[in-house]
Amino acid sequence: MTPPARDPTGRLRAVDRAHVWHPFTQMAEWAAGEPVIIAAGEREFLIDTEGNRYIDGVSSLWCNVHGHRRPEIDAAIRGQLGRIAHSTLLGLASVPSIELAARLVAIAPKGLTRVFYSDSGATAVEIALKMAFQYWQQCGGRAETTRAGHAPPLRDGAAIPDTVGARHASPAPQPQPGSPGRRRGKPGRTKFVGLALGYHGDTIGAVSVGGIDLFHGIFRPLLFDGIRAPAPYCYRCPLEKKRETCRMECAENLEQILAARAREIAAVIVEPLVQGAGGMITHPAGYLRRVAEACRRHDVLLICDEVATGFGRTGRMFACEHEEVRPDLLCVAKGISAGYLPLAATLATERVYAAFLGDPSQARTFFHGHTYTGNALACAAGLASLEVFEKDLVLDRIGELSAHLASLLAPLADLPHVGEVRRRGLMVGIELVADRATRRAYPPEECRGRRVCEAARARGVWIRPLGDVVVLMPPYCISDESLARLVDAVRQGIEEVTAT
């Protein structure tokens, strides 16, 4: 069958329908639609095969932080391409992965000094989970007590363990004579605590610690057991508290879990400040700090999944900074390469890292890796992105944009079917409800959220919802004018779709 040359978009649509299986997509529905096919991009705009321009209202699924075809990043990738596209980190080192690791350590919350690369948010989380698990299997051994010898300080205080680390290391048992390879540690600490409505990616480990039943329910038999704490979702408080009188019982609940069961818990994993895929759930101030303090108190590792919140999204480089929290493990992806290439990293403290050191015969090695770990092109993009942050004072611009966005969004809170407008920095969730007084949700089959996005698309805006939560996550390069157009299209879309 020769496709009609005069209709290239029609041909592409037919081939897409025939062969491309889209993520998180009911393909029976997709096959009946007319998808927009993106052919190009420019700053905050996506351009389709027919030349239509759309504001990229969710930064190409939350990752394209500086906009499309950013000249500095394009040039950095081209420059790297002129040297080498990829070489392995298994047995070799590479220039861009070294330079980027140093930059990441310099901007990350204090104490995170070791960078393990991978290629997606889910893998960054898998790695953190495996590191935390293995850490407890072998911590407190010989290698850890000699950590100073293995860990030259990279910057002020970076290699100095926190108080927990010091406390933990001091009574380390001495190696038993005749069994130099014996592991010790606290091997009973094998479980993970995650939050209800948490999302950490779609691989099996990441799903095991996630809390979104719609995505995860069917895989339950494949998952490992975890402990789930309630989500700090104030609009629909799982503990039925009122904002005015609540004592943050959700945090108390997690504290109680740790107090009762710390000896079986390897780590707590949270999305700091905002639970993204769970519905842009913005946490009450102080929640993260309390979680971190409880972890310290009970000597449980804290994994912060900043895959969505990292790289400026909440107004600081990392969301943890808002509450001065220093996690033991930090997962970053999405924005790390400015949305150009698949790249992720799991950052660890010296305390965690040291538990993996030892004689090869002890098998303390972290046996994990991916073919494209530390890909040179992706790392070059990451480095160029961090230079843009610095050179253009992007965090300052995010502050301005956030304030502007707040004032543009204010009137939306009064729309009759808007239950709540949640925002932290440039992360926004607008929750639609059938009834504002009772907070009753729309029946899911009415697909209100998706219909709002379709209505916005007709107005030149591309966004993607989370159920009935309309999500906005504009790129940081967006103009004031485009930001106003984005919110306007969303407002009109909501009015149109909720009129009946």
Per-residue 3-state assignment (H helix, E strand, C coil) for 387-450: HHHHHCCHHHHHHHHHHHHHHHHHHHHHCCCEEEEEEECCEEEEEECCECCCCECCCHHHCHHH
Q: Kindly tell me which residue out of 68, 191, 200, 485 binds ligand PLP, with binding defined by CB under 6 A.
A: 200
Tell me the closest approach of the beta carbon of residue 105 to ligand PLP, in angstroms. 21
319 binds ligand PLP (CB under 6 A): no
Note whether 142 binds ligand PLP by CB under 6 A: no
Binding to ligand PLP in span 106-135, by CB under 6 A: 120-122, 125
Among 73, 132, 254, 277, binds ligand PLP (CB under 6 A): 277
The least CB distance from residue 455 to ligand PLP, in Å, is 25
Residue (63 or 398) nearer to ligand PLP, CB: 63
Interaction of residue 276 with ligand PLP, rule CB under 6 A: yes
> Among the candidate windows 36-44, 198-206, 403-411, 434-442, which touches ligand PLP by CB under 6 A?
198-206
**# of chain residues touching ligand PLP (CB under 6 A):** 15
Taking CB under 6 A as the binding criterion, the range among 106-114, 258-266, 300-308, 399-407 that sits at the site for ligand PLP is 300-308
Among 307, 343, 352, 463, binds ligand PLP (CB under 6 A): 307
CA distance 271 to 62: 14
Q: Give 67 or 276: the residue with its C-beta nearer to ligand PLP.
A: 276
Is 273 a binding residue for ligand PLP by CB under 6 A? The answer is no
Q: How far is the CB of 304 from ligand PLP (least distance, A)?
A: 10
Q: Which of residues 143-172 bind ligand PLP (CB under 6 A)?
A: none
The interface with ligand PLP within residues 349-378 (CB under 6 A) comprises: none
CB 429 within 8 A of CB 469: yes
**The one among 251, 273, 292, 308 contacting ligand PLP by CB under 6 A:** 308
Residue 271 engages ligand PLP in binding (rule: CB under 6 A): yes
- Check if the beta carbon of residue 104 is closer than 8 Å to that of residue 115: yes
Q: Which is nearer to ligand PLP, 140 or 425 (CB)?
A: 425
The yes or no reply on residue 333 touching ligand PLP (CB under 6 A) is: yes
Q: Is 338 in the site for ligand PLP (CB under 6 A)?
A: no
Q: Which residue type, as a one-letter code, is found at position 63?
A: C
The CA distances from residue 157 to 106, 154, 226, 275, 350, in Å, are 12, 8, 34, 31, 11
CB nearer to ligand PLP: pick between 308 and 463? 308
Which contacts of 178-184 are long-range, i.e. CB under 8 A and separated by 24 or more positions?
Answer: 180/142, 180/359, 180/362, 181/359, 181/361, 181/362, 181/363, 183/137, 183/138, 183/141, 183/362, 183/364, 184/138, 184/139, 184/140, 184/141
Would you count residue 199 as binding ligand PLP (CB under 6 A)? yes
Report the interface residues with ligand PLP, using CB under 6 A: 120-122, 125, 199-201, 271, 276-277, 305, 307-308, 333-334
